[in-house]
Amino acid sequence: MFITTEGVVLKSYPFKDGSYIVKIFTSETGMLSFIIKKTKKKSIIYQPLTIIELTYRKKENSTLFYIKDAHVISAYQNLLFNNKKIQIAIILSEILHKCLGEPNQKLYCFIVDSFKWLDLASENYSEFSNLFLIKFCEISGLKPYGALDFKQNPNQQLDLKQGLFINANKLYRNENIVPAKESFEIFKLSKLDFEDLKTHQNSVTLSDSIFNYLLKYISIHLTDLQGIKSIKILKEIF
């Protein structure tokens, strides 16, 4: 039986005989692995976060499929030609590859819409990765809860293990308690949409710190991301 579905490419790597294995998160079936013969015509399919429509033959008890036909349904205008955006795309596709599995239409649409926004963004988008991870957690049912108005409760800090904002004692030290400054920024970001990033900016140091705490949060509640060495390497390269 042949199935036609949309999908977003997350990872590809050489297989054998000039072929590649491509990991694609599909809108209908979730994460699937495909064998694709490398050709110039199909080279775009290997790019992280490429949005395609594909037709493949479904076989029972099979974990590796062959694509009968595939074509790009939404070509990026800027993302693949901008070093900063490429860095964001590769790092987040690596994270998504580790986190995704079962089909989730809402999550699929969020991923596609988010990167379409990034592609067209011309102003400040430096906090895109952090806001993306926060929204990813929310859609996945992992959103931290319990935060109150920080003006009235300035001592709130995020407990990563509990997934809860708590009134932490300044003398209390725990590796799972996010510092007050980062906790406040995570809370503020959780209230924003991508369009709001145009007027929202943090220092590189603070942004990286928030990103690392979000990776730790996802590692605790979903899947281990802290062992992904490629994320650190990519940040150093770019």
Does residue 44 sit within a domain? Answer: yes
Domain range spanning residue 223? 125-237
Does residue 131 sit within a domain? Answer: yes
* Domain total in the chain: 2
Same domain assignment for residues 202 and 134:
yes
Does residue 143 sit within a domain? Answer: yes
Does residue 26 sit within a domain? Answer: yes
Among residues of the chain, what percentage have pLDDT more than 90?
59
pTM to 2 decimal places: 0.92
Structure token pair of residue 233: 């390497």
Please identify, among 74, 103, 137, the residue that sits at the C-terminal boundary of a domain. Answer: 74
Contact 94, 132 (CB under 8 A): no
| Mean per-residue pLDDT of the chain | 88
Same domain assignment for residues 50 and 147:
no
Same domain assignment for residues 59 and 135:
no
Structure confidence at residue 41 (pLDDT): 61
pLDDT for 172 beyond 70: no
Same domain assignment for residues 36 and 138:
no
Does residue 104 sit within a domain? Answer: no
Q: Over the stretch 112-148, which tens digit does the pLDDT of each residue have?
A: 999 999 999 988 899 999 999 999 999 999 988 877 6
Phi-psi category of residue 163: left, alpha or beta, with phi > 0 → left and psi -120 to 50 → alpha:
left
CATH number at residue 14: 2.40.50.140
Contact 167, 175 (CB under 8 A): no
Does residue 112 sit within a domain? Answer: no
Same domain assignment for residues 206 and 143:
yes
Q: Over the stretch 68-126, which tens digit does the pLDDT of each residue have?
A: 888 899 899 999 889 999 989 989 999 999 999 999 999 999 999 999 999 999 888 99
